[in-house]
């Protein structure tokens, strides 16, 4: 599966099912881990699930480590939710 396929695959799901599916892919497929976590991070911001946002953000930072520019933690999202 490629990133484009992952984007298309993710559109078949909505809400929490989409988040859980992306998290499952991230945990099982090393090649798609960063892309799946990025999609999940973007999607979780459409919810009020701050704890999942924190978890996904942490996992994404760990997955990309020093190879990709820093992804900012959106304090505003956490505070308004």
For every residue of 61-76, DSSP letters joined together read: HHHHTTSS------HH
User: Are 53 and 80 spatial neighbours (Cβ–Cβ below 8 Å)?
Assistant: no
The domain total for the chain is 1
Q: For residue 59, what pLDDT is reported? A: 95
- Residue 74 banded pLDDT, cuts 50, 70, 90: confident
pLDDT higher than threshold 70 for residue 1: no
- pLDDT digits 0-9 by tens, 2-61: 667 999 999 999 999 999 999 999 999 988 999 999 999 999 999 999 999 999 999 999
Task: Report which DSSP code applies to 67.
Answer: S
Helix (H, G, I), strand (E, B) or coil at 37: helix
The helix/strand count (H/E) of the chain reads as 5, 0
Report residue 65: phi and psi, to 5°: 45, -115
Question: Can you give the residue range of the structural domain that contains 43?
Answer: 3-80
């Amino acid at each position: 599966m490629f990133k484009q396929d992952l984007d298309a695959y993710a559109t078949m799901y909505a809400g929490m099912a989409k988040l859980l599916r992306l998290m499952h892919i991230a945990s099982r497929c090393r090649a798609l881990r960063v892309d799946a976590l990025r999609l999940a991070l973007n999607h979780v911001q459409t919810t009020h699930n701050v704890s999942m946002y924190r978890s996904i953000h942490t996992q994404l930072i760990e997955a990309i480590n020093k190879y990709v520019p820093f992804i900012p933690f959106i304090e505003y999202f956490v505070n308004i939710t």
